Amino acid sequence: MATSGTDEVAQALWYTGPGQVEIRQESLPEPQTGELRVRALYGAISRGTEGLVLAGRVPASEYERMRAPFMGGDFPFPVKYGYSTVGRVEQGTESLLGRTIFSLHPHQTLFNIRASAVVVLPKDLPPQRAVLAANMETALNAVWDAAPSPADRIAIVGGGVVGSLVAYLCGRLPGAEVTLVDVNPARAELAKAFGVSFATPESAKGDCDLVVHASGNPTGLGTALALAGEEATVVELSWYGNSAVTAQLGGAFHSRRLRLLSSQVGRIAPSHRPRWTHGRRLAAALALLADARLELLLATPVAFRDLPDQLPNILDARSGILCQPISYL
């Protein structure tokens, strides 16, 4: 194992209170056997989840289940939170030295991590695009849960990053009629680039075989239920933190025999759980990022050092940002 012989100081982003973030320093010991020293290149903010973390809206019942891999601290505050980092291996396993990897690590300039917890980027995948891996993994798991079929009429309500990626994946099914539904008409260009249709909630075609809801807004869930056809499945992919959600489960919900199914990336979908590991799923997500069109989801990178000032604006629902990359360069 190659080592430098000296400890180094890393900088990490911490959520310290409602609406409060700061960068803290921490000293890194030498990597132990089986560990790597990784220097971050790019990262990404998960706007939905990290917005709830920043607001202190993680419910107490979910404090343990919502712990991200390698998270520091404890909910509600202070926590070192995040799960999208692309970096270069500087120390550790010889075969990985100099390789560019993805890891589900919080936002931090330098860190030690188990070699088994990283995935080497495919040869032709640009590091900046690879920050979408965690979102693609969520979308892939949702598609497994949803089980769409060729020629299905499918609506995805919510054109954020995860919803757009679900639309992208479903759009590759032969003969599928896929529509991205969003209140923002500007999402039409994104849908067109991904080869799917676009509609506002008012103009979306109903009688769908499958609807996936990913808007993060209870109103969107109402739209999803309204678009579902007789005995169709509605997959709820949004997470609302500690907010109460009102869903229209009266009226014709029962007589139409709709199926409302939750999906969450923490566990592999039951259809694949007997055969797939989390590592295999993450590697598959990275491979699915080969399409350069997916860079349309990426905003202009923000420097890591500027995050304390910029993060409240980035996480504001009115920002229009899809995926916010972080640059450590």
Torsion of CA 74, 75, 77, 79, to 10 degrees: 60
- Compute the distance between CA of residue 214 and CA of residue 157 in angstroms, rounded to an integer: 6
End-to-end alpha carbon distance in the chain: 26
Query: What is the structure's pLDDT at 6?
Result: 59
pLDDT (tens digit, 9 = 90+) per residue, 103-161? 999 999 999 999 999 999 999 999 999 999 999 999 999 999 999 999 999 999 999 99
The pLDDT assigned to 248 comes to 86
Catalogue all structural domains in the chain, each as residue range(s) with its CATH number.
8-128+298-327 (3.90.180.10), 135-262 (3.40.50.720)
**CA–CA distance, 272 with 47 (Å, rounded to integer):** 27
What backbone torsions phi and psi does residue 157 show, to the nearest 5 degrees?
-95, 115
To the nearest whole number, what is the mean pLDDT of the chain? Answer: 96
Residues in the chain: 329
Q: How is residue 86 written in tokens?
A: 């692309």
- pLDDT of 5 > 90? The answer is no
Would strands 35-45 and 110-114 be described as parallel, antiparallel, or unpaired? antiparallel
**Per residue in 44-83, pLDDT tens?**
999 989 999 999 999 999 999 999 999 999 999 999 999 9
Nearest-angstrom CA–CA distance, 43 and 102: 9
What mean pLDDT do residues 159-181 have? Answer: 98
Instruction: Check residue 317 and give its pLDDT.
Output: 81
* 295 band by pLDDT with thresholds 50, 70 and 90: very high
Residue 236 token pair: 């709820």
329 has a pLDDT exceeding 90: yes
By CB atoms closer than 10 A (0-12, 13-18, 19+), residue 260 is: middle
Return d(Cα 166, Cα 169) in angstroms, integer: 5
| Cβ count near 80 (within 10 Å) | 19
Per-residue confidence (pLDDT) for residue 154, from 0 to 100 = 98
